[in-house]
Amino acid sequence: MTATPMLETRALTKEFRGFRAVSEVDLTVASGTVHALVGPNGAGKTTLFNLLTGFLTPSSGTVLFDGHDITGRAPEQIAPLGIARSFQITSLFEAMTLREHLELALAGPTGLGRQWWRSVTRMARFKERAMELLEQVGLADKAQVPASSLAYGQKRALELAIAMALDPKLLLLDEPTAGMGIEDVDRTIALVKQLAAGRTVVFVDHNMHVVGSLADRVTVLQSGYVLAEGPYEQVRTDERVITAYLGAAHE
């Protein structure tokens, strides 16, 4: 018997006024693996992420999470099941300190974040864990500064710490290294490797060095379809992929 995949889509399709942005996509992500989604601009990667997280409703097809059908559920129903997403565009509260960001994320599942009148002292229990997470991403010395004072790469590192605080079964990362210089890219690769220990990660990235360093398997999308799927070494030498994507990237 094969193990239940952490994530599976069957013939997943999204049409916008007759235009198919995602077309009959079958995706299988085994539990505990790191899976990359790549493809040229407009291939349907972001739309697929939106379908997986409930931000868009599929036109047809199915999404299974850990064997359970979650097709068409709302984001607020899907997130508590254990799917977390970090966005391509940084989505931080600029005035809040780094430690406060982590404490809120840690308090989220218990609802303490919303019970502000009681939370001041009870939040203290999250302080220790918040500091551990900041330590892990190399931001412990910035615990008390507002997020607005961070450099771009540091903001992305904070987002990864927040993702770790949520402790999801499935973590979706939308272009974790977008806009980064080489040092930040290598640092992010190391961080994602830490994050991936003991969980399942699906990420979108255009940087093939990142994909090759992190992904156990790669799915290549083109015009909404799955063009190729397999280990990085196999996919990168696939003629169709070279023509459709890597060739274009090299140009």
Distance of closest approach, residue 42 Cβ to ligand ATP, in angstroms: 4
Least gap, CB of 204 to ligand ATP (angstroms): 7
CB contact at 8 A, 249 and 205: no
Q: Is residue 101 within 8 Å of residue 163, measured between CB atoms?
A: no
The smaller minimum CB distance to ligand ATP, of residues 11 and 190, is found at 11
Tell me whether residue 21 or residue 158 sits nearer to ligand ATP (CB atom): 21
Residue identified by tokens 């990420």 is: 203
For ligand ATP, the closer of residues 13 and 97 by Cβ is: 13
Smallest distance from the beta carbon of 41 to ligand ATP, in angstroms?
Answer: 3
Sign of CA dihedral 9, 10, 15, 20: positive
Task: Report the interface residues with ligand ATP, using CB under 6 A.
Answer: 16, 19, 21, 39, 41-47
> Closest separation between CB of residue 239 and ligand ATP, Å?
21
Is the CB of residue 161 less than 8 Å from the CB of residue 97?
Answer: no
Measured distance CA(146)–CA(161) in Å, rounded: 15
Residue among 251, 229, 234, 231 nearest 39 (CA): 229
**How far is it, in rounded angstroms, from Cα 179 to Cα 181?**
7
Question: What is the pairing mode between strands 7-16 and 19-29?
Answer: antiparallel
Q: How many CB atoms sit inside 10 A of residue 208's CB?
A: 17
> Is 46 or 119 the residue whose CB approaches ligand ATP more closely?
46
Tokens linked to 215: 């992904």
Cβ proximity to ligand ATP, 90 vs 136, nearer residue: 90
Q: What's the one-letter identity of residue 47?
A: T
Beta strands 217-222 and 225-230, pairing class: antiparallel
Nearer to ligand ATP, 21 or 123 (CB): 21
- Give the CA distances from residue 88 to residues 62, 69, 153, 194, in Å, rounded to whole numbers and listed in that order: 25, 26, 12, 20
Cβ nearer to ligand ATP, comparing 40 with 212: 40
